[in-house]
Amino acid sequence: MKLFTLIACTFLLMVSYTAQAQKNLINNGSFENDLDDWTNSSVAKTTPWDVKAGKASCAIISPNTANWMGIEQVIRIPKNTLGLEFSAWLKTINVVRGESEWMGAVYSIEFLDKADKKIGDGVNIARLTGDNNWEQFKKAVKLPAGAVSFKILIAMGNASGTMLADDVWAKVISADEVAKL
Ligand SMILES: [Ca+2]
């Protein structure tokens, strides 16, 4: 009986550890709650017509290449985190970028220090042009020194056309996974 209790407790601990590791740090990354928790959200809309999961996705429709039209979220990094994995499902329709190579339908991360200052150049996870069907873009990143939070950006960066996004995720990865990076 004692052994059974021990096994049951170990199992419960493992389940709760896994649940912790699998937690999405992004709020409303599914866009099921309209654009709640996203800043600068006036440049985007949620749509029920073309979704990856659930009942809604996020759409950014840009008429020309003159502006940066992006939504953002700043998230505090949990204590003792060594690395994070970012992912999102993206789709583009007829995206034409401006002159510079960094322009396009963009999914990027910036790490911020305790003064909310950007550390380094940021990490680009996807930069799309043209037509692309729903595809998941994923990148595991080792935390730079001094990073306290990260900013997630989904944007039509000086590009015209339509970008759709759904199931935006950021999760803590284990020391083993970070060692492999
Ligand atoms: Ca959704």
pLDDT at 102 over 80: yes
Query: Cα(13)–Cα(8) distance, rounded to whole angstroms?
Result: 9
Question: How remote is the CA of residue 26 from the centroid of ligand 1, in Å?
Answer: 13
Q: Ligand 1 center to residue 114 CA distance, Å?
A: 32
- Model confidence at 2, pLDDT cuts 50, 70, 90, reads low
Q: Are 181 and 140 in contact (CB under 8 A)?
A: yes
The dihedral through the CA atoms of 79, 83, 85, 86 has a sign that is positive
* Per-residue model confidence as pLDDT tens digits over 114-132: 999 999 999 999 999 999 9
pLDDT digits (tens, 9 = 90+) for 11-57: 666 655 555 557 999 999 999 999 999 999 999 999 999 999 999 99
Q: Is 180 helix (H, G, I), strand (E, B) or coil?
A: coil
Overall pTM > 0.85? yes
Task: Compute the distance from residue 19 Cα to the ligand 1 centre, in Å.
Answer: 21
Res 22: pLDDT: 78
Domain 24-179 has CATH 2.60.120.260: yes
Q: What are phi and psi for residue 68, nearest 5 degrees?
A: -95, 115
Q: How far is the CA of 86 from the centre of ligand 1 (A)?
A: 16
Please check the confidence at residue 58 and state whether its pLDDT lies above 90: yes
